[in-house]
Amino acid sequence: MAARGRPSQPTLEQVAALAGVGRGTVSRVINKSPGVRDSTRHAVEQAIAELGYVPNHAARALAGSRTDAVALVVPETEKRFFTEPYFSEIIHGVGIGLADTELQLLLTLVRSERERTRFLQYARARRIDGVLLVSVHRSDPLPDLLSEMDMPTVLNGRRRGDETVSYVDSDNAGGARLAVRHLSAIGRRKIVTITGPGDMYVARCRLRGYEEEVRTSCPDFDPSWAAGGDFTEESGRHAMTELLRRHGDLDAVFAASDVMAAGALHALRAAGRRVPDDVAVIGFDDSPLAQHTDPQLTTVRQPVEEMGRTMAGVLIEQMADPGAAWRNVVLRTELIRRGTA
């Protein structure tokens, strides 16, 4: 029985706090793992000496173990996840990227604060070796919380321009410029847009690219030429109906996703507008849906499968070298011409 008043042994968390690093970094220093900067290693070793920390060998063995599992986390509802082709293409690409490894892929939907807390507890217990995050919104704290626990993490897209976590993205603004430039080249002069949700950086980039090009192509441009959607077909239909109400003389629409473009086609048909004769339509993604609309959809292709493969590759690199710098990868987009424009 321990004597009363005996000071408690310092903990790994106290060492991490004193050194100004995460718990995982302390574990890597104790286990002499590669990939830790010399300055960081020195700070941890100083904190260990100052506190008199004695590593627990069982804990060291646990800290050095791997689960050979990574989580693909989607902070969206089941409805959006199962109806948007984008997600299945990303998963397919990630699967290809992990095919030659021993890593298992765990799919997790995080739809509420409770589910986020539960996933963080799962990650903190080191039941996974890394995280791939898809469809992140601007206010989502999950990337930063994972970073604080030294969990290798790669985002699909960004939350903002100064993202502080590794990400793989496509040239969203450039793709939107391509779409508007093409619409202008075929003689369209009132080019409206259906945007994605404003709390997603991908949607803001596509809107920015649209506005940069349309101000040059259409001297009469007005901010009311834009109507908001949320990347669902229903929102595309509602936004298109609203734009027709505001601007009955519109002759082209750039939708920030193929799914919203499909909704716009339904609204145009219901309003008696012919595509592309009366109104030209361009989407974004080049998802399988684009070849099943009537007419087939002209769209901006982003290499979704390649994005998934690249995300997997970046994550594997991070897991092998946790101290490495963030990786930021932006892939090219291209215009695919079909029947709607």
- Convert the pLDDT of each residue in 229-241 to its tens digit: 999 999 999 999 9
Residues 153 and 187 in one domain: no
User: At residue 318, what are phi and psi to the nearest 5 degrees?
Assistant: -65, -40
> Which residue segment(s) compose the domain that 209 sits in?
172-301
N-terminal to C-terminal alpha carbon distance within the chain: 81
120 occurs within a structural domain? yes
Do 178 and 267 share a domain, yes or no? yes
Is 240 in the same domain as 315? no
pTM: 0.75
Side-chain-facing half-sphere of 334: CA atoms under 13 Å: 4
pLDDT in tens, 173-228: 999 999 999 999 999 999 999 999 999 999 999 999 999 999 999 989 999 999 99
Residues with Cβ within 8 Å of 149's Cβ and at least 6 positions away in sequence, in order, are 22, 23, 24, 123, 124
Residues 184 and 289 placed together within one structural domain of the fold: yes
Residue 62's nearest CA partner among 21, 101, 12 is 12
Q: Are residues 258 and 285 in the same domain?
A: yes
Residues 135 and 283 in one domain: no
- pLDDT tens, position by position, 131-145: 999 988 888 889 888
Tokens in use for 137? 């919104």
Q: Give tens-digit pLDDT for 70-95.
A: 999 998 888 788 888 888 999 999 99
Residue type, 37: R
Please give the backbone phi and psi of residue 101, each rounded to the nearest 5 degrees, phi first: -115, 180
Question: In whole angstroms, what is the distance from residue 33 CA to residue 320 CA?
Answer: 10
Nearest CA among 331, 328, 341, 339 for reference residue 163: 328
If asked whether residues 180 and 297 sit together in one domain, one would say yes
Q: Which residue is listed with tokens 């994972």?
A: 146
What value does the mean pLDDT of the chain take? 88
Looking at residue 189, what is its pLDDT? Answer: 94
Lowest pLDDT segment from 7-11, 107-111, 309-313, 319-323: 7-11
Instruction: Assess if residue 53 is contained within a domain.
Output: yes
* HEC string for the chain: CCCCCCCCCCCHHHHHHHHCCCHHHHHHHHCCCCCCCHHHHHHHHHHHHHHCCCCCHHHHHHHCCCCCEEEEEECCCHHHHHHCHHHHHHHHHHHHHHCCCCCEEEEEECCCHHHHHHHHHHHHCCCCCEEEEECCCCCCCHHHHHHHCCCCEEEECCCCCCCCCCEEEECHHHHHHHHHHHHHHCCCCCEEEEECCCCCHHHHHHHHHHHHHHHHHCCCCCHHHEEECCCCHHHHHHHHHHHHHHCCCCCEEEECCHHHHHHHHHHHHHCCCCCCCCCEEEEEECCHHHHCCCCCCEEEECCHHHHHHHHHHHHHHHHHCCCCCCCEEEECCEEECCCCC
* Crossing angle of the two packed helices 172-185 and 201-217, in degrees rounded to 10: 30
Answer whether 281's CB lies under 8 Å from 295's CB: no
Q: How many CB atoms lie within 10 A of CB 328?
A: 14
Amino acid at 173: A
Tally of structural domains, the chain: 3
Are 197 and 81 members of one domain?
Answer: no
Question: Same domain, yes or no, for 196 and 254?
Answer: yes
Least confident of 151-165, 256-270, 287-301, 302-316: 151-165
The CATH number given to whatever domain includes residue 264 is 3.40.50.2300
**pLDDT for res 191:** 97
Q: Are residues 238 and 255 in the same domain?
A: yes
Which of 192, 19, 308, 248 lies closest to 10, judged by CA?
19
In angstroms, the CA 234 to CA 260 distance is: 7
